[in-house]
């Protein structure tokens, strides 16, 4: 192993992102596809992930807040971008100036967008969001009829164009998502009665897009699946033909042998059941390795899986490698493509009682990213 290799590195395979989008598009078959690149592209890097997803056939990008959208524009991304999470003083002037499509979740927000459009002398492109039961943002059902009428009036006045109508599912159960789709259909009918004719109708994120065809309409918003991670804790990405794009790797920085009974790491929650070799790996919870996975998760060293011994610390983990001749400098894969025999982000999620989303998005600042496979 090269001594120059970074201590902690997330290797992101952009070819995997591109192929995942191709695979998803072929399976889902909607006319339009948002690739969601919020939260720094789910930890993979927003700009390279966006470019790879667009190369794979996504025709639009989705982000949560405007700062994320503006950053993509600053980096030269010209594809349509929708941003849907705004506070009361969001900079819609900047959004309109940069051609960012605005998710609108209330009549007050619509008013703010209209005012910004009037200041700019331009038409703002908006997607009206209906709350169909997730109870986060989105126009509440009781305000929806008034909202679509106000949006239609603004459209007639030339200040906005309602390019989309959308909502977001809770993923509670197929029945609950279907009930939300019913509410969405009623909202779409109301929008049509008000004279709106949105080009993009979107409800499903990865989970529903893959499993509930009814929720696909003509556009889906795909996040986690683009990165090759399953939206379901009990289903592997390979079931959907997806390959994880990220491999989190480090290397062994020290090895030692301890006698039976010796405790390891803070609190000595692990005691060696017999004489054993230990490998020290310089990644910890500051790097996104969940402390919750202490004593539960495994890593791969030289193609063999070994368990974490004891607690995950801020900067390091200790691996119980038995008698397997691990040496300083050996590569350690925390997670990557399970088809290659290494643990998956889903394995880590199970070990930490969380979801794959959290495993990839929480990588810390010290983890460098390296891009391969363009």
Ligand X SMILES: *Cc1c(COP(=O)(O)O)cnc(C)c1O
67-106 positions binding ligand X, by CB under 6 A: 84
Q: Which residues pair with 237 in a beta bridge?
A: none
Query: Cβ closer to ligand X: 312 or 360?
Result: 360
| Nearest distance from C-beta of residue 215 to ligand X, angstroms | 12
CA distances from 4 to 8, 74, 369 (A): 11, 32, 15
Query: How big is the site for ligand X, counted in residues (CB under 6 A)?
Result: 13
Among 63, 126, 183, 205, binds ligand X (CB under 6 A): 205
Each residue of 33-68: b (16+ CB within 10 Å) or e?
bbbbbbbbbbbbbbbbbbbbbbbbebbbbbbbebeb
- The span from the CA of 161 to the CA of 335, in Å, is 44
Among 106, 72, 71, smallest CA distance to 86 is for 106
Q: Which is nearer to ligand X, 230 or 316 (CB)?
A: 230
Report how far residue 228's alpha carbon sits from residue 157's, in angstroms, rounded to the nearest whole number: 44
How many degrees, rounded to 5, is the angle at CA 68 between CA 62 and CA 72? 80
Residue 215 or residue 316: which is nearer to ligand X going by CB?
A: 215
Q: Which of 43, 164, 223, 356 binds ligand X (CB under 6 A)?
A: 223
User: How many C-beta neighbours within 10 Å does residue 111 have?
Assistant: 13
Which of 310, 305, 295 has its CA nearest to residue 351? 295
Gap between the Cα atoms of 283 and 267, Å rounded? 18
Min dist CB 200 to ligand X, Å, is: 13
When binding is defined by CB under 6 A, the residue of 20, 109, 132, 206 that contacts ligand X is: 206
Stretch that binds ligand X, among 75-83, 118-126, 176-184, 205-213 (CB under 6 A): 205-213
* Footprint of ligand X on 165-194 (CB under 6 A): 168
Nearer to ligand X, 63 or 318 (CB): 63
357 counts as catalytic: no
Tokens of 42: 């789910």
**In the bound complex, what is the minimum distance in angstroms from residue 192's beta carbon to ligand X?**
22
Q: Is 371 a catalytic residue?
A: no
Which entry of 42, 129, 266, 270 is annotated as an active-site residue?
266
The distance of closest approach from Cβ of residue 205 to ligand X in the complex, given in angstroms and rounded to an integer, is 3
Rounded distance, CA 31 to CA 27, Å? 12
Residue 19: Cβ-neighbour burial (10 angstroms; 0-12, 13-18, 19+): buried
Interface map 24-43 toward ligand X (x if CB under 6 A): ------------x-x-----
Applying CB under 6 A, the span of 174-182, 204-212, 243-251, 290-298 interacting with ligand X comes to 204-212
User: Would you call 168 exposed, middle or buried from its count of C-beta atoms within 10 A (0-12, 13-18, 19+)?
Assistant: buried
In sequence order, the 6+-apart residues with CB closer than 8 A to the CB of 89 are none
Give the range of 15-23, 173-181, 224-232, 256-264 binding ligand X by CB under 6 A. Answer: 224-232
Stretch that binds ligand X, among 13-21, 66-74, 182-190, 223-231 (CB under 6 A): 223-231
Nearer to ligand X, 72 or 326 (CB): 72
Q: How far is C-alpha 63 from the chain's CA centre?
A: 10
The catalytic position among 38, 129, 217, 285 is 38
In the block, which residue shows the tokens 């930890």? 43
CB of 270 to ligand X, least distance (A): 34
Q: Residue 50 interacts with ligand X (CB under 6 A)?
A: no
Return the number of other C-beta atoms located less than 10 Å from residue 75's C-beta.
12
Q: Which of 171/284 has CB closer to ligand X? A: 171
Is 336 a binder of ligand X (CB under 6 A)?
Answer: no
Contact of 117 with 150, CB cutoff 8 Å: no
Asked if residue 128 binds ligand X (CB under 6 A), the reply is no
Question: Hey, which residues are catalytic here?
Answer: 38, 266
Chain residues binding ligand X by CB under 6 A are 36, 38, 84, 168, 205-207, 221-225, 231
């Amino acid at each position: 192993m090269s001594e120059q290799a970074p201590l902690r590195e997330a290797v992101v395979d952009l070819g995997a992102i591109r192929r995942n989008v191709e695979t998803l598009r072929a399976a889902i078959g909607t006319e339009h596809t948002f690739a969601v690149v919020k939260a720094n592209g789910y930890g993979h890097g927003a700009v390279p992930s966006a470019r790879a997803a667009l190369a794979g056939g996504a025709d639009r990008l989705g982000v949560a807040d405007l700062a994320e959208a503006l950053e993509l524009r600053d980096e030269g991304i010209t594809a349509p971008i929708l941003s849907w999470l705004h506070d009361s003083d969001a900079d819609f002037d900047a959004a309109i100036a940069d051609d960012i499509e605005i998710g609108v979740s209330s009549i007050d927000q619509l008013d703010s967008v209209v005012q910004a459009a009037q200041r700019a002398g331009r038409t703002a492109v908006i997607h009206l969001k209906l709350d169909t039961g997730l109870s986060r943002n989105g126009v509440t059902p009781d305000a929806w009829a008034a909202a679509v009428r106000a949006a239609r009036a603004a459209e007639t006045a030339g200040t906005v164009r309602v390019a989309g109508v959308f909502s977001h599912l809770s993923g509670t159960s197929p029945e609950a998502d279907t009930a939300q789709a019913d509410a969405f259909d009623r909202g779409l009918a109301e929008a049509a009665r008000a004279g709106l004719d949105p080009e993009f109708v979107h409800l499903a994120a990865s989970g529903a897009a893959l499993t509930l065809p009814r929720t696909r309409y003509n556009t889906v918003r795909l996040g986690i699946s683009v990165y090759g991670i399953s939206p379901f804790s009990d289903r592997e990405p390979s079931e959907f033909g997806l390959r994880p794009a990220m491999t989190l790797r480090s290397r062994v920085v020290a090895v030692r042998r301890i006698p039976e009974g010796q405790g390891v790491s803070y609190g000595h929650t692990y005691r060696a059941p017999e004489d054993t070799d230990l490998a020290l790996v310089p990644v910890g919870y500051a790097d996104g390795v969940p402390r919750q996975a202490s004593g539960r998760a495994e890593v791969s060293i030289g193609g063999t899986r070994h368990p974490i011994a004891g607690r995950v610390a801020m900067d390091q983990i200790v691996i119980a490698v038995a008698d397997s001749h691990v040496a300083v400098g050996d590569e350690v894969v925390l997670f990557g493509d399970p088809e290659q025999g290494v643990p998956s982000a889903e394995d880590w999620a199970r070990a930490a009682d969380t979801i794959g989303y959290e495993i990839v998005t929480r990588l810390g600042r010290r983890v460098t990213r390296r891009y391969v496979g363009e």
